[in-house]
Structure 1
Amino acid sequence: MTATRYDRRMYAVMNDRRAAAAYATAGRRRLIVGAHVALTAVGVAAWIGTVFGSSWSLTVVIAVALLPWVLLTGMLNGSTRGLLELRGRMLDERQLVERDRVRALAHRITLWLLVAAAVGAGAYSVMTDTPLRAEVTPVLVGVLAAHWMMPLWVASLRVQDDLADVDDEFGDSSAS
C-alpha cells in the first residue's frame, strides 16, 4: 500500500529534528519521561478526584497539567521518530521489529502493574473489611492510563542516542 498525504505529513512531523537537542541524550530522555509520568499521574489523579470525588476545582489542575503534558508527549514522539504513531507502511523492517519489542515489554510491565494493583486492592479490602466498589474504579483508571502511556515511555527510554556528525575520525571538524 502506498503512503497517503496524511502518512507523509505525519512522517515529516515525527522526524522534524528542530527540537532534537532537547532529547538528544539518554539522560534528557529519562528526565522527559519522568516529567511525563509525573504529569500523567497528576492529571489522572485530578481527573479521578473530579469524577469520583466532590471537588470540581481539580479541573484547574487538569487544565494546568495538560499543556506541558502535550508538549512532553510531542517531544517523546519526536525522540522515537514516531515509532508508535506512524502507520506500519511508513516504517522500515527494523522499526517494525523495534515497535513489536517495545509493545511486548510495555505489555509485560503493565501486566505486573495490574498484578500489583489487584493484590493491593485485595489487601486493602481484607485489612479494612470493606467492599471495593468505590475504590476499584479509580485504581483501574490509573492502571488504564499507565497501560495507555507505557509503550511511549518504554520506547523513549530504549532510543539510542543520535551519533554526532563528525567530519574526520578524531572528531575535529576544524582540521582540513
Structure 2
Amino acid sequence: MRSRSDLPEDDNTLIKLVVAGYTHQQIADAYGVSRQAVSQRLKGKVVSRQTFPVIVDLLPWDLSSVPSRPALLRLHIYKGLRGYVSWLDGRSVSMEDFTARKTLINRLLKGEVVSFREGEKFVYEPRSDAANLVVAWPDIMGEPGPQVRRLLTWNPAKAQEMCDLNGAARLKG
C-alpha cells in the first residue's frame, strides 16, 4: 500500500470521482492507497453522490482553465446538457433549458453527440464511439463511472417523453 501522498494533490479530482459515483474504496484501489486515506483526505468536505451533480463534474473535459468559462456555460448546448441531466435526475428546469434539451435530443436522434473543442466551445459531432452517452467520451478517460452512466446515457426510447411539454417536462414556475 502506498502512502496518502500518492493521492492527487488537487482535492477536486477526488471530489469529481465521488460525484461520478465511485466509492472511497474504488478510489483507494485506483491510487493504491487505503480507503481510510481517501476518507481522511475528504473529511470535512461536503461530498455526496446524492448531491445534485454539477454538470461540469460529469463531463470528461477539464473546463476550469477555459478563459471564457462563464460564457461557455451559457451556451445553448450546455443548457441542453443541463436540461437533460435535470430531467433524468427528476428536477424541474427552466423553459430555456427545456428548449435547449429538445435541441440536444434532436441532434442525438441524428446520431450526433456533444464534444468540446479544446479551449473553444461545445460542438455537436457525429457519434464515433460505442459508449452510448450524450457526450463524446475520450478513450483516455477510461470507463465512465456509475453516476456518469446514470445521467449521461442516451436512451432514444425516452426522447419523446423528454420533449413533451405537457407530459413529464417538469418546468419551473
TM-score normalised to the size of structure 2? 0.29
Return the structure number with greater relative CO, CA threshold 8 A, min gap 6: 1
Considering fraction of residues, name the structure with more helix: 1
Considering fraction of residues, name the structure with more strand: 2
Give the number of the structure whose alpha-carbon radius of gyration is greater: 1
TM-score normalised to the size of structure 1? 0.29
